Structure 1
Amino acid sequence: MIDVSDKPDTFREAVAESVVKVSKDTIEIVKRGESPKGDIVDAVKISSTFAAKKTHELIPYCHPIPIDHIGIDVDIQDNSIIIKAIVKSIWKTGVEMEALTAVSIGALTVYDMLKPIDDNISIESIKLIKKRGGLKRFYEKPDKTLKAAVIIVSDTASKDEKADKSGNIIINKLKENYFDVIEYKIIPDEKEIIESLLRKLSDQGVDLIITSGGTGVGPRDVTPEATLNVIEKEMKGIEEALRAYGQRRTPLSMLSRGVVGVRKNSVIVNLPGSPKAVSESLNALFPGVLHIYKMLGGYKH
């Protein structure tokens, strides 16, 4: 299966539909409740619901997902029976396969129940009507090129640039998200140096300043204190989101003291120093953080 372990949970919804064509005489039998194998509507609702839940067991590369809602509607028309499924979940992958599987099995159920009385029954179509949710809808291409800076805070890396394993991870992610990285700098764990550089970059109008390192509780870890002295508004929601995302993957995420805040029109984000923690934090940061630039520009939510 595709690895989705790095993806955050988001709301997902899919609507699918199948159409089973039958004779008008058969429709009349169904409406009178005289189908030889029992009530069509109830059977379809039950079989379709079971099918949606069992999709990952029927289709080998589908992920087992927590389904929050399955809605099945059976519409009996003049010469057809239309089955519609709505499936919802808050998870990492879409639910279109669950919806499609539901209406497929629903259609087969109709076929099985009516074939003794209708030789011309046929499944006319099975299709996805719509799907929504996921991260793509939150990617907002900015009106202008956004500028970014990457600051590695490390006594070790400041003496030997080869020791920095996180800088390129951050730079690549920024480029993927419409940012022009105008500065990449490695500095020691010195509070005054960190503060001075943050103020300088903010005064230059850099839109996003990401620091990596110095967020722990070691005697030289002072990045959060330096950041708090610089920012004008703290973004606690982003801080909590980064730690919560990491905590689902490692019990050590809660030890990070990283701060996120705004100074003027610059967003400053503290990330941990380890490459894995940096990668995970960036997955949590984007695309949601992009919306902040509309907020800073005075746009309504």
Structure 2
Amino acid sequence: MKDVGMKPESLRRARASAELLAPPHCIELLRSGDTEKGDPLKTARVAGILAAKRTDELIPLCHPLPIHRAEVTYELGDDRVRIIAEVETIGPTGVEMEALAAASLAALTIYDMLKPYCEPAEMSIRDCRLDEKRGGKSQYKRKLPAPAAAAVLVLSDTVAAGRKPDTAGRAVESELTAAGFAPIYYAVLPDEPAALLDAIGELRDRYALIMTVGGTGIGKRDITVDTLKPLITRELPGLMEAARAFGQRRTPYAAMSRGIAGFVGDSVLVTLPGSRGGATESLTAILPSLVHIFEVCRDLPHPGGYQ
């Protein structure tokens, strides 16, 4: 199965449909609900909902999902019935297959209940398709429509002294590149307030996004948050709330992050944890929001770098 453990949850919807062709007298049976097995449309609705809830048992590589809503409705014509299935969840992956399974099984149920009333050649199921899906990366974009300049500042005494390589900052740089940020400035600084303030003074208003990596914990040398908080003119508290909530579902230590986010001048400032896991998890959680910020805000530094 595909690993979806690092995908953020969102409200996801899917609508699928299928069409069953049958002689007009069979369609009249659907209208009346009068067959020897009972009402076909009511029975097929229950079958379709059940199929949506149990798709992971029917299709081997589908993930089990909490189904928050499933519904099956119909459009009756003279010689056909269109089955429409709608499914919703809040989860890390979509419900397209659940909607398709619901439409398919509802159509098969109707077929089964009508088959005593016509010849096999007179009925067919066709055109089972996904009509719409919402949520996830198809709705909440994870890549910029146009490049925007970003800066990554790694705060670490040990990395700055050359005693260990930087993995967290480079991972963040790689993720930002994949998201369409360019050019990307990268630097490593010791955990010193003066050095950090000088760097922010040089970068603010020139880079649309400034990300610090490290210094958000509770150690005496974790100075990033305390140093940068007074510079923020407009807070974006929801970014770090989302990052911590995402992280806490993967490790309880995420609760110790004191990370902050907001505008410093015309730049968006985000402070990420210093571990590679904490930094990438936080960025995964907030990246759709960051992309949205750069789509809707017109007073940020010009896409691509300098004003």
Per the normalisation by structure 2, the TM-score is: 0.92
SS at match of 1:287: helix
Q: Is the Cα–Cα contact under 8 Å of residues 147 and 181 in structure 1 kept in the other structure?
A: yes
1:255-288 deviation per Cα after TM superposition (whole angstroms, max 9, x unaligned): 0011112111111111111111111111112121
Q: Is the Cα–Cα contact under 8 Å of residues 174 and 181 in structure 1 kept in the other structure?
A: no
Q: Distance in 1 between matches of 2:252 and 2:144?
A: 35
Q: Distance in 1 between matches of 2:146 and 2:47?
A: 51
Q: Distance in 2 between matches of 1:241 and 1:150?
A: 20
Paired position in structure 2 for 1:242: 243
Paired position in structure 2 for 1:118: 118
Report the alpha carbon displacement of residue 162 of structure 1 after superposing the two structures with TM. 4.1
When the two chains are superposed, the root-mean-square deviation of aligned CA atoms in Å is: 1.8
Paired position in structure 2 for 1:105: 105
1:90-145 deviation per Cα after TM superposition (whole angstroms, max 9, x unaligned): 21111110011001111110111111111122213211112122123332865753
Aligned 1:180-191 pairs, distance under 5 A: 180-191=182-193
Matched, 1:34 2:34: yes
Q: Supply the AA of the counterpart residue of 2:288.
A: P
Q: Distance in 2 between matches of 1:30 and 1:137?
A: 37
Q: Distance in 2 between matches of 1:143 and 1:60?
A: 36
Paired position in structure 1 for 2:207: 206
Report the alpha carbon displacement of residue 197 of structure 1 after superposing the two structures with TM. 1.2
Q: Distance in 2 between matches of 1:140 and 1:2?
A: 19
Report the alpha carbon displacement of residue 33 of structure 1 after superposing the two structures with TM. 3.3
Paired position in structure 1 for 2:263: 262
Paired position in structure 2 for 1:129: 131
Q: Is the Cα–Cα contact under 8 Å of residues 265 and 296 in structure 1 kept in the other structure?
A: no
% identical equivalent positions: 40
Q: Distance in 1 between matches of 2:114 and 2:66?
A: 33
SS at match of 2:228: helix
Report the alpha carbon displacement of residue 21 of structure 1 after superposing the two structures with TM. 1.1
Q: Distance in 2 between matches of 1:265 and 1:219?
A: 30
Paired position in structure 1 for 2:150: 148
Paired position in structure 2 for 1:175: 177
- The alignment of Structure 1 onto Structure 2 pairs a total of residues equal to 298
Q: Supply the AA of the counterpart residue of 1:211.
A: T
Q: Distance in 1 between matches of 2:111 and 2:2?
A: 34
Unaligned residue ranges in structure 2 (runs of 5+): 301-307
1:134-176 deviation per Cα after TM superposition (whole angstroms, max 9, x unaligned): 1233328657531111111111111007431212101111111
Per the normalisation by structure 1, the TM-score is: 0.93
SS at match of 1:63: coil
Between stretches 240-249 and 129-138, larger displacement belongs to: 129-138
The 1:64–1:169 alpha-carbon spacing in structure 2 relative to 1, beyond 3 Å, is same
Report the alpha carbon displacement of residue 4 of structure 1 after superposing the two structures with TM. 0.6
Q: Distance in 2 between matches of 1:158 and 1:263?
A: 25
Q: Supply the AA of the counterpart residue of 1:106.
A: A
